[in-house]
Amino acid sequence: MGKTLSIVTLTLNNLEYTKKYIDSLYRFTNNFELIIVDNASTDGTVDYLESLQLEKDNLKVIYNNENKGFSKGNNQGIDIAQGEYIGFLNNDILLYPNWFEKIKEVFENENAAFASPRHIKPDFNFTNEHSYIQYFQNFKYDKPYEKSFDECEFSCVITKKEILDKIGNFDENYTPAFFEDNDIKYRAIMAGYGVYVVNSVCFFHFGSATSVNYNDNFEANRAYYYSKYPLAEYLSISGEEKGDLKIKNRHFQNFPLNIAYNLYLLWLKIIKRIKRRRK
């Protein structure tokens, strides 16, 4: 019988986190295949994954000889995924009981493109990896899930293969990380789908253990994102629908924000050049 869910996870060192993630994934997830794309780890992760392949018959591993980045790595996983649903999960997270079953309900009841559990980070919450499940059980939400562009987190998110076939995979021009998730969510909304956060389950995130090294690319990727979608800033935490964005697009030619934002980007470039000359 085929797997319902294909999970794509990228690794680049941080073996300690990967081991905890794998344990949590197999504890709280059923009927899935795991596709790990390793972006040239050097800390023993490759040896660990090779040994894991001998133990797990639902595990596939792609070994890259260089860091392909978030978009390319996930696209490699998508290419070999066989599940009806596809999940993109970081290797520095821990999961919650029945997390996928609760997320699946969103797709069964709504025209959803992406849905993620509630995000818990030790930086922002009085909890840790040993107490996050008990901590989250004290939360009470009025709705089991709701639309939210910002709170749909790609550290742990689910979509369907048929949706990616319609809106496309990750844009590989975002390198090595940042804003590729906003890009694909924006495309989903413009295609008429909803983007959701699920209030009945959570995931614990140790905190960008890998992407913290990519800060130099943040501004370049942000500039590229807004050059593609000038109205993307309107996708606030409450989300915007396709019709709202189309109305704003019709008026955008006369809207000064585009000019102001381009001037802001130019100012950032000038400041960077001044700083480089002073060094």
| Residue from 199, 228, 177 nearest 74 by CA | 177
In a 10 Å sphere around its CB, with 0-12 CB exposed, 13-18 middle and 19+ buried, how is residue 74 labelled? Answer: buried
d(CA 248, CA 255) in angstroms, rounded, equals: 9
Give 146's strand partners: 197
CA-wise closest residue to 163 among 82, 70, 75, 85: 85
Q: Distance between terminal CA atoms of the chain?
A: 61
Residue length of the chain? 279
Residue (of 67, 7, 102, 75) closest to 211 by Cα position: 67
DSSP class of 157: E
CATH architecture of the region 5-234: Alpha-Beta Complex (3.90)
The DSSP secondary structure of 14-78, one letter per residue, reads -HHHHHHHHHHHHHH--SEEEEEEEE---SSHHHHHHHHHHH-TTEEEEEESS--HHHHHHHHHH
Give, for 114, the enclosing helix (H) or strand (E): strand 112-120
DSSP state of 217: G
Angstrom distance (rounded) from CA 245 to CA 188: 12
pLDDT tens across the length of the chain (279 residues) = 568 999 999 999 999 999 999 999 999 999 999 999 999 999 999 999 999 999 999 999 999 999 999 999 999 999 999 999 999 999 999 999 999 999 999 999 999 999 999 999 887 777 899 999 999 998 888 899 999 988 999 999 999 999 999 999 999 999 888 999 999 999 999 899 999 999 999 999 997 655 555 556 888 888 888 888 877 776 653 444 544 555 555 444 444 445 555 666 678 778 878 877 776
Is the backbone peptide bond immediately before 176 cis, with ω within 30 degrees of 0? yes
State the CB neighbour count (10 A cutoff) for residue 269.
Answer: 11
Domain boundaries, the chain: 5-234
